[in-house]
Structure 1
Amino acid sequence: MPRRTDIHSVLIIGAGPIIIGQACEFDYSGTQACKALKEEGYRVLLVNSNPATIMTDPEFADRTYIEPITPECVEKIIIREQEALKRSRKNAEAKLVLL
């Protein structure tokens, strides 16, 4: 499938608390998703409530949030990232004007 040029960042939601017998499969799947997306050039954002997983290693995501996996927390993260994107675009436009 060709890379989508209209998408720049992808939010991966981790498995959260470890459940004996299931955690490693979800953690492995998540790390593989992060790796594949980064290789394609996407900015990878990760939210996971469990800091003791392989997924939360800094090499897998461009930004990692250790937060409860609730709709409210995920929504706050999305809003924060959208605002950061708007600020970076404004800064880039200001730099172009200065040139």
Structure 2
Amino acid sequence: MRTSRRCVKCQCPRLWHVDPVMVPDTDSSNVVEILPAVARAGSGAAVTGEFKKRVEAGRFEVWICSACGYTEWYAHEVNDMLAWLSRNPRSGVHYSDADAAS
């Protein structure tokens, strides 16, 4: 949708673009924050299993069709963080490359 500027389901050209996606702050009714694309426990979790500090990276943008509501999400600025997290098997982050397997 972001390149064709049309909904991939219904072909409608009327789209909403939201960048960055924001969420309400849990501690305040008047604050919004950028929704991180990746959020995990910090560096202590990889070694000790303890959850010491939250690590966040990246942001999302969305494209929403005004006719049918179909939505596409795109993550930005996450590759370095995901690569770092994938080195810890307990992080729940795994990389898959179907072309590399052949």
When the two structures are superposed, what TM-score results if normalisation uses the length of structure 1? 0.24
When the two structures are superposed, what TM-score results if normalisation uses the length of structure 2? 0.23
- Going by fraction, where is strand more abundant, 1 or 2? 2
Rg: which structure is higher?
2
